[in-house]
Amino acid sequence: MMNIERMSDVEQRPVKWLWERLAISRGGLTLIGGEPGAGKTQLMLYLAACASQGVAMHGDKHQADPFGVLYFNTEESASVLRDALARNGADLEQVFYAAQQSLSVCKEALPDIDHLRVIVFDPLLLHDVDRGDRKAFVSTVERLQLFAREQSIAMLASVHLSKSNNPSMHDFQLPPAVVASAATVLTVGRNDNGASSESVVRVRRARDTDAKLPALRFEIRNGCVVFKG
User: So what's the pLDDT on residue 163?
Assistant: 47
User: So what's the pLDDT on residue 162?
Assistant: 53
Class (C level, CATH) for 23-228: alpha beta
User: So what's the pLDDT on residue 164?
Assistant: 44
User: So what's the pLDDT on residue 128?
Assistant: 46
Contacts for 162-170: CB closer than 8 Å, 24+ residues apart: 162/35, 163/35, 166/35, 169/33, 169/34, 169/35, 169/38, 169/202
User: So what's the pLDDT on residue 43?
Assistant: 96
pTM of this structure: 0.88
User: So what's the pLDDT on residue 174?
Assistant: 65
Question: How far is Cα 186 from Cα 30, in angstroms, rounded to an integer?
Answer: 7
Q: 78-87 vs 40-53: helix axis angle to the nearest 10?
A: 70
Strand partners, 156: 30, 120
Report how far apart the first and last C-alpha atoms of the chain are (Å, whole number).
57
pLDDT digits (tens, 9 = 90+) for 130-179: 455 667 778 888 999 999 999 999 999 998 765 444 434 344 466 677 78
Question: How far is Cα 173 from Cα 214, in angstroms, rounded to an integer?
Answer: 21
User: So what's the pLDDT on residue 170?
Assistant: 41
* Domain segments of the chain as ranges: 23-228
User: So what's the pLDDT on residue 194?
Assistant: 55
- Note the residue count of the chain: 229
pLDDT digits (tens, 9 = 90+) for 81-97: 999 999 999 999 999 99
User: So what's the pLDDT on residue 120?
Assistant: 97
User: So what's the pLDDT on residue 62?
Assistant: 77
Residue pair 32/40 in contact by the 8 Å Cβ criterion:
yes
Question: How far is Cα 93 from Cα 142, in angstroms, rounded to an integer?
Answer: 30
Low-confidence ranges of the chain (pLDDT < 50): 128-130, 163-172
